Structure 1
Amino acid sequence: MIDQLLRSIPTDQIAEAIGEDPQATRQAVKASLPALLGGLTANAERADGAQSLLAALGRHQDGLAEGASVDQIDVQDGEKIVGHVFGGNTDAVVNQLGGMSGPQTSSLVRKLLPILAPIVLSWLAKQVVGGGGGGSAAATGRQAPGQPDGPLGQGRPEASPEQGSTDLTSVLQDVLGSALGSATGTRSSGSSGSSGGILSDVLGSILGRR
Structure 2
Amino acid sequence: MASDSELQALLGQVPIGDLAAKFGVDDATMREAVQQALPGLVGGMAVNASDQEGAQKLEAALEKHSGAEGGISLDAIDEADGQKIVTHVLGDKESDVAHALGQNAGSSVISSLIPKLLPLLAPIVMQFLAGKLLGGGSNGTVASQPAQGGGGLGGILGDLLGGLLGGGSQPQAKSQQSQGGGLDDLLGGLLGGGSSSGSGGGGLGGLLGGLLGGK
* Global fold match (TM > 0.5): yes
| Cα distance in structure 2, aligned partners of 1:91 and 1:205 | 15
1:19 aligns with 2:24: yes
| Cα distance in structure 1, aligned partners of 2:146 and 2:213 | 24
* Structure 1 residue runs without a partner (length 5+): 144-163
Q: 1:77 to 1:205 in 2, by over 3 A?
A: same
1:69 aligns with 2:66: no
TM alignment of 1:116-127, pairs within 5 A: 116-127=121-132
The answer to whether the 8 Å contact 1:43/1:85 transfers is yes
C-alpha displacement of 1:60: 1.0
- Alignment-mate amino acid for residue 172 of structure 1: L
TM alignment of 1:1-210, pairs within 5 A: 1-63=6-68, 66-100=70-104, 101-130=106-135, 142=141, 170-184=151-165, 185-187=167-169, 193-202=181-190, 203-209=208-214
Q: 1:166 to 1:127 in 2, by over 3 A?
A: closer
| Cα distance in structure 2, aligned partners of 1:47 and 1:66 | 31
Percent identity, aligned pairs only? 39
| Cα distance in structure 2, aligned partners of 1:34 and 1:73 | 19
The answer to whether the 8 Å contact 2:101/2:111 transfers is yes
Which residue number in structure 2 is paired with residue 149 of structure 1?
Answer: none
The answer to whether the 8 Å contact 2:48/2:54 transfers is yes
TM-score after normalising by structure 1: 0.75
The answer to whether the 8 Å contact 1:98/1:104 transfers is no
| Cα distance in structure 2, aligned partners of 1:129 and 1:198 | 33
| Cα distance in structure 1, aligned partners of 2:213 and 2:180 | 18
The answer to whether the 8 Å contact 2:67/2:129 transfers is no
* Structure 2 residue runs without a partner (length 5+): 1-5, 170-178, 191-207
C-alpha displacement of 1:131: 5.1
C-alpha displacement of 1:31: 1.0
Q: Which whole-Å deviations, capped at 9, do the CAs of 1:161-197 have from their partners, x for residues lacking one?
A: xxx868689411111112222222115xxx9523323
Q: 1:80 to 1:57 in 2, by over 3 A?
A: same
The 10-residue stretch of structure 1 (169-178 or 118-127) with the greater mean CA deviation from structure 2: 169-178
The answer to whether the 8 Å contact 2:82/2:122 transfers is yes
- Alignment-mate amino acid for residue 86 of structure 1: L
Q: Which whole-Å deviations, capped at 9, do the CAs of 1:143-164 have from their partners, x for residues lacking one?
A: 5xxxxxxxxxxxxxxxxxxxx8
TM-score after normalising by structure 2: 0.74
Alpha-carbon RMSD across the aligned residues, in angstroms, is 2.8
| Cα distance in structure 1, aligned partners of 2:67 and 2:180 | 34
The answer to whether the 8 Å contact 1:8/1:67 transfers is yes
